[in-house]
Amino acid sequence: MTFLDLMDEARHALQIALDRLGLSELRVKLEPPPSPSMGDLSTSLAFEASKILGTSPIDAANRIRDNIPVSDLVLIERFEVAGGGYLNVRTKERDYVNRIVRQVETEGNEYGSVPAKRLKILIEHTNSNPNKALHVGTIRNSLLGDTVFRLLKFRGYDVEVVNYIDDSGAQVADNVVAHLFLGYPISPPGDEKYDHYCGRVYAEVNERAKHDQSIGEKRRLVLKLIEEGGNDASAIAKELSKRVVEEQLKTCWKLGIYFDLLNWESDIIRYGFLEKVLKRLVELGIAVKEEKGPNAGCTVIKVGKLPEFQELTNPDEVLIRSDGTATYVAKDIAYACWKLGSLGEDFRYEIWGTQPNGQKIWTTTFGKGAIEHPDFGRADRAITFVDKRQEYAQKIVKYAAEQIGGNKKKEYVHFSYEVVSLSRKTAERISKDRLELGDRKMVHMAGRKGLVVNVDDVLESLEKLVIEETKKRNPEAPQDWIERVSRSIAAGALRYAMIKPDVKKVLVFDIDETVKLDGDTGPYLQYTYARANKIVEKASVEGKKLEFHAELLSPDEVLLIKVIGKLPWVIMEASDNLSPRLIAIYAHELADQFNNFYEKYQVIRAETQELRTTRLTLVLTFLQAMRNALAVMGIEALGSM
């Protein structure tokens, strides 16, 4: 944890200086400066101190620096005053880079992991409606969730990943209507993938519903039948949902996404969890049955007096409709209570199957269930990945679940993110149907209109592009190797494209930009790793102990090692702030620094043996750091490509 050690040393030294100046109340904040030329760490502490001391920031910075106990410093060479009052930190470079290299050698695949509190964290992601294939909008949810899982797991948290299957909602009801009343066959004609077929049926039913009011009436009937259970409609809904989920899981597995548990919404109803939660909300005075007004006959949760809801015109949320059916928010509240263990009850479980990585995947069941099973739920922290459009609903869920739980130490977190759109060019290329785009430059997903681009189609298109490039670079390689590597590159490209952009902004996905080897892409990271690995293979030094001479390093090489040294800090920041993009930004910076080194310096043909072994050690150190960063992002580190 050398960079973190550096931060601790700087923070401790600055705190002593503040204490000596009578400024103990100030909090020391440190971060890397905008440019490496400014040093290794920087703080704007003097600007706050100057207000209390009644002097200029420059004078305050000098006074802080002069009160630092220099004799106690181990990693730090000096503190410098710069930029109108900033304090910059410079390390004792030779000792510092030596420590980083040895730490990476010692920790290996664990390098970057910073021990965390012993907490159980439950992550819910993907939760796509089980009536259609996963599209690129949904897969951002999956990939953000999976990357956060990998980050937290790497830190040592006890992490459980669940997929919530909404098999009793309106979208599944539309497909049941199609099969029960509109003559659609249960199984698709020809070899059409089942989840793709269901998505097409769903879109067609919604189009027909615009001109046929009876479809809406049938939908309401089917919804009620599904909730009641024990009838043809509920049986079709269960079978349809199961078959679609099987196909959705296959898509997830292509991207290295795996689950511990499948939760079925219908089980929340059948186990009585929903009824129990509603009763508790009424007892707490939070939920009431409205006698008049627009929500007459409905059970609603009253939140209008809470500060976060006061700006809304109609903040109260319907939980039970006047016809007795539950809204998805009501079911989500019950589910959130199960996650945090505040229900006092549990599901029964059985094994669904074995995933390609060998991991068992479990499912809730209303059947007998397994006698022995993992201890699901009862988490200290539950993180739910749902896009920004559901922010209001998620606030309701969080409020209700925490009121029922009453345990202030348990936390419900909504991970919000913006939706995915497609560039016009990508939508036209991938969609198998003709799109009416007008003059639009990007395309928003709309499952009801059939305006979606499925992940399977994206991966297929990516693989075709990559196979062509891989063949050019490796004309003698066997076809099975080309296909395997191309699948890995395609998956890495999509993963990186979904986690790197800011989650607060709409992501415009463009397939051509995603697979570039020289851009801000997953393939660029994989290519850089393969390039470094080739050096090690040529030198035949894997596993050998090499001499390292820090004094021989150029400034470029020192900078590369310093970037390697930041990985533990980046992992900690990314996991603590639930910001997977930080690891993507870091990996791109690391790749850039290595490629700068690669273009400038000879490794195998270095001028001396000492320089050769030093640079080979540097390459090995880079490979380990990049391998660990890629693993956290779920991207395969390819030895060649």
Instruction: List, as one string, the DSSP characters of 185-220.
Output: -SSPSTT--HHHHHHHHHHHHHHHHTT-HHHHHHHH
pLDDT at residue 506 in the model: 94
**Closest Cα partner for 348 from 332, 364, 361, 328?**
364
pLDDT at residue 362 in the model: 99
pLDDT at residue 393 in the model: 94
Q: Where in the chain is the domain with CATH 3.40.50.620?
A: 125-270+342-376
AA letter at 137: G
* H or E element in which residue 420 lies: strand 420-423
Contact status, residue 495 vs residue 139, Cβ threshold 8 Å? no
Q: What phi and psi values does residue 299 have, to the nearest 5 degrees? A: -90, 125
pLDDT at residue 315 in the model: 85
pLDDT at residue 450 in the model: 57
pLDDT in tens, 445-459: 666 555 678 899 899
Which two structure tokens, joined as six digits, stand for 133?
Answer: 């294939």
pLDDT at residue 451 in the model: 64
Please state, as a whole number, how many other Cβ atoms lie within 10 Å of the Cβ of residue 241: 26
pLDDT at residue 63 in the model: 97
| CA–CA distance, 63 with 49 (Å, rounded to integer) | 10
Please state, as a whole number, how many other Cβ atoms lie within 10 Å of the Cβ of residue 117: 8
Give me Rg for the CA atoms of the chain.
28
| CA–CA distance, 97 with 99 (Å, rounded to integer) | 5
AA letter at 84: G
Please state, as a whole number, how many other Cβ atoms lie within 10 Å of the Cβ of residue 482: 19
Contact status, residue 97 vs residue 550, Cβ threshold 8 Å? yes
Where does residue 158 rank: exposed (0-12), middle (13-18), buried (19+ CB within 10 A)?
middle
**Closest Cα partner for 452 from 478, 468, 430?**
430
pLDDT at residue 310 in the model: 78
Contact status, residue 103 vs residue 75, Cβ threshold 8 Å? no
Contact status, residue 270 vs residue 229, Cβ threshold 8 Å? yes
Q: What phi and psi values does residue 575 have, to the nearest 5 degrees? A: -75, -40
pLDDT at residue 169 in the model: 82
pLDDT in tens, 556-601: 999 999 999 999 999 999 999 999 999 999 999 999 999 999 999 9
* H or E element in which residue 497 lies: helix 479-499
pLDDT at residue 427 in the model: 75
Dihedral sign computed on CA atoms, order 242, 243, 247, 248:
negative
CATH number, domain 2-91? 3.30.1360.70
Q: Where in the chain is the domain with CATH 1.10.730.10?
A: 522-633
Q: By three-state DSSP, how is residue 179 classified?
A: helix
Which two structure tokens, joined as six digits, stand for 398?
Answer: 């969080």
pLDDT at residue 567 in the model: 98
| CA–CA distance, 196 with 167 (Å, rounded to integer) | 17
Dihedral sign computed on CA atoms, order 625, 512, 257, 119:
positive
Which two structure tokens, joined as six digits, stand for 615?
Answer: 């640079």
The Cα angle at residue 245 between residues 152 and 339, in degrees rounded to 5: 40
Q: Where in the chain is the domain with CATH 3.30.1360.70?
A: 2-91
> Is 522-633 a domain of CATH 1.10.730.10?
yes
Where does residue 24 rank: exposed (0-12), middle (13-18), buried (19+ CB within 10 A)?
exposed
pLDDT at residue 510 in the model: 86
pLDDT < 50: residue spans in the chain: none
| CA–CA distance, 591 with 572 (Å, rounded to integer) | 20
CATH number, domain 125-270+342-376? 3.40.50.620
Which two structure tokens, joined as six digits, stand for 572?
Answer: 């900690």
